[in-house]
Amino acid sequence: MAEITSDMVKQLRDATQAGMMDCKKALVETNGDFELAKDYLRKKGILKADKVSGRETGEGIIYSYIHHNNKLGVLLELDCVTDFVARTDEFKELAHKISLQLAAMGARFVSRDLVPQEKIEKEKEIYAAQAKESGKPAHIIEKIVESKLESFYKENCLLEQEYVFESGKTINDLIVELISKTGENIKVKKFVRWQVGESES
């Protein structure tokens, strides 16, 4: 398995304008083959999705999910470009899937770029201290911190979480699939998850 470096990811991003997460996944899936990675992005509809990613999302829906025991609920704003797409069953189904994900797994942020810098620095500080305690050398500590930070994003950022009902697929993948079908930009604007007895973080 080829090592996927940040330079390789950046090079693919520069060539395709696809997101960093998507570029990294494409390179992992194709064992670092640049041309195959570009084909992978095309097949998955990601390049098409990224072409519309800058379009204003002024329409959408507020979707609510209450768990059957009435002790857990989710309120989600899922946005798109036109009211036509917002009213489709596929769009509502996507909102339902995302709400179930939030109910099951929780998430603190929509995406990694919305994690406050001070939170990132605090996590890095904790990971570095843990690694130092185990007596690891400095260059290894740096890699451990980077790896643990990636795990933090996958656990806490909704778009990077693995979809609970389909292994190997992220929430971002679900959104990209519908973008490639509709040709419209689709975004999770915000969400709130409540659970009875859970303290506010």
Q: What is the pLDDT of residues 110-165, one digit of tens each?
A: 999 899 999 999 999 998 888 888 777 778 888 888 899 999 999 999 999 999 99
Q: Determine the pLDDT at residue 77.
A: 97
Rg (CA), the chain: 19
Architecture of domain 59-111+157-195: 2-Layer Sandwich (3.30)
Instruction: Note the pLDDT tens digit of each residue in 159-192.
Output: 999 999 998 889 998 998 898 888 888 999 999 9
Domain positions in the chain are 6-51, 59-111+157-195, 116-145
| Mean predicted lDDT score pLDDT of the chain | 87
Architecture of domain 6-51: Orthogonal Bundle (1.10)
Residue whose C-alpha is closest to residue 181's, from 45, 23, 41: 45
- Per DSSP, the residues of 147-164 read HHHHHHHHHHBGGGSBPT
- 68 - beta bridge partners? none
